[in-house]
Amino acid sequence: MLSRTADHLFWMSRYTERAENTARMLNVSYETSLLPQSAAVAQVGWQGILSISELLPSYQALYGDVTPQAVMEFMVKDPDNPSSIVSCLRAARENARAVRGTLTTEVWETQNQTWLELNRLLREGAFERDPGAFFEWVKFRSHLSRGVTVGTMLMDEALYFMRLGTFLERSDNTARLVDVKFHALESDFFGVASAKDQELDFYHWSAILRSVSGFEIYRKVYRDVIKPERVAELLMLRADMPRSLHASMNEVVSNLRLVSEDGQGETLRHAGRLRADLQFGRIDEILATGLHAFLTQFLDRVNNLGGRISREFLVPAGA
């Protein structure tokens, strides 16, 4: 496969996944903002969304103070924000158009229809009328895109590069989510909380789980009250949790092996080592040595892995 074609397929999937992840985070923050809470707590929540995407300086340069309306406007409709839903879905569609001949008709039409319908919804004010319904629509279109891809594409390198993009993006986003949400409350992990604090904690951790469709999964796996260390374990180390770091890296390694000529190489070795740290890691050891440090290192290694994939398989930067 031509590296330029692989590059478009890889980034088409990454941008689609990024749009879904942004919608998930915004939806949880929007729903949480409807609960009784102090202005300071609400401010931390909205600021966290910008921190996850490393967009706080860009946002402040445009809007100044962090407000719910401005954050949602910036993360949904701003065409100059590369991580906004509009920018991600536009980029996904443009990458799909560049390799139209490689995609099945169903995959192309799904990407194209998503972009056309997004513009219609925004023109008609659907986002302002019901943000929750709009975010659910973005998630549904991402689910549809993945389903159509797996259901209609030939199982060859084109599909493998698309899957690679999806799960590399997912691992990066889940790590950022866990890092930002947990780092803000790390000092309270094992403290003695009042009944009111415990109630607020329940909504906080429930919101984090819902942002990755993990609330029902948590109940099924642990059958217990929601505890921070178990939330961390579920989102990082459980291979059977679809959006966990471990599950995502399993997919990255599997698809890397399929596109590697000999099933070896430095890029695959780096991915394998990253996966092994999750496969054999223990949450109590990670918490003891520092969750923030572990996730910061993980993000650095994922970014390094993305760079290696680009250099080995895709179009080099500046090409």
pLDDT computed for residue 45 by the predictor: 76
pLDDT computed for residue 309 by the predictor: 92
d(C-alpha 178, C-alpha 194), whole Å: 24
Query: Is residue 206 within 8 Å of residue 226, measured between CB atoms?
Result: yes
Residue stretches of the chain with pLDDT short of 70: 1, 35-42, 183-201, 263-264, 316-319
Quick one: tokens of 302?
Answer: 């994922």
- Residue 122 burial class via C-beta count within 10 angstroms: exposed 0-12, middle 13-18, buried 19 and up: middle
pLDDT computed for residue 228 by the predictor: 87
pLDDT computed for residue 89 by the predictor: 97
pLDDT computed for residue 49 by the predictor: 82
Determine what percent of the chain is predicted with pLDDT higher than 90.
Answer: 64
In Å, what is the CA distance from 45 to each residue of 24, 28, 259? 14, 10, 40
pTM, full prediction: 0.89
